[in-house]
A and B are shown apart, each in its own frame.
Chain A
């Protein structure tokens, strides 16, 4: 079955770079049309879509965060990594990764809470 799990630091200082890893199983990013995306949710607030990567290395980013985000993949290791530069306390959120196929975000990780604070 398809599973995804996010990992990374729980606490990051302002201005630092945040690196999150999504480790998945049950599917291959080399399969046509399959992608992995990142979504976040600040405490008590709405979901926000961040980025998406395909097996052919095609990438898409949220226009409002594009300058700060980089998404990469390691197909052999079944990892997708999201990097966010110059973090701020407003970036405090639960970060989720999700499997996307046939325009459906159908499987999600449990999420990882990242707090940005000095």
Chain B
């Protein structure tokens, strides 16, 4: 069974920069996994942030960026704001099926 792994939790100071990663049990993540990233706050539906590795939706704040880093998909937040405190999920494509990561709880402190 395919497993997608994210850091369970990360802490960042306001104004700082943090990178969340997304690894696949099948090996290096490439653009062919079409990584998507989502932000979710308590009681809300997930909010899409990034698709196909690095493309932003029209509503995605400029401080969010996606990339491939060291064989993983990565989401970088630069100039973190208090409102960025949330759970973040990645989603990878496996030739038909998709698999979510376990999520990263980002604390802004």
Contacts and interface: CB of A to CB of B under 8 A. Distances in A.
Interface residues of B, number: 23
Contacts of B48: 104-108
B93 interface: yes
Interface string A48-69: 1100100000001111100000
Interface string B14-40: 000000000000000000001010101
Contacts of B101: 46
B81 interface: no
Chain A binding surface SS class:
strand
A47 B51 CA distance: 17
Judged by DSSP, the binding face of B is strand
A108 B51 contact: no
Contacts, number: 59
A103 B93 contact: yes
A109 B45 contact: yes
Given A47-B46, A62-B97, A63-B97, A104 B52 contact: yes
Contacts of B91: 47, 49, 105
A24 interface: no
B96 interface: yes
Nearest to B34: A103
A37 B46 contact: no
Contacts of B55: 104
A76 interface: no
Contacts of B34: 103
A52 B98 contact: yes
B64 interface: no
A106 B38 CA distance: 10
29 contacts: A39-B46, A39-B100, A46-B100, A47-B38, A47-B89, A47-B100, A47-B103, A49-B97, A49-B98, A49-B99, A49-B100, A60-B96, A62-B97, A63-B1, A63-B97, A64-B1, A96-B45, A96-B46, A104-B36, A104-B51, A104-B52, A104-B55, A104-B57, A105-B48, A106-B48, A106-B51, A107-B48, A108-B48, A111-B45
Interface of A: 37, 39, 46-49, 52, 60-64, 96, 102-111
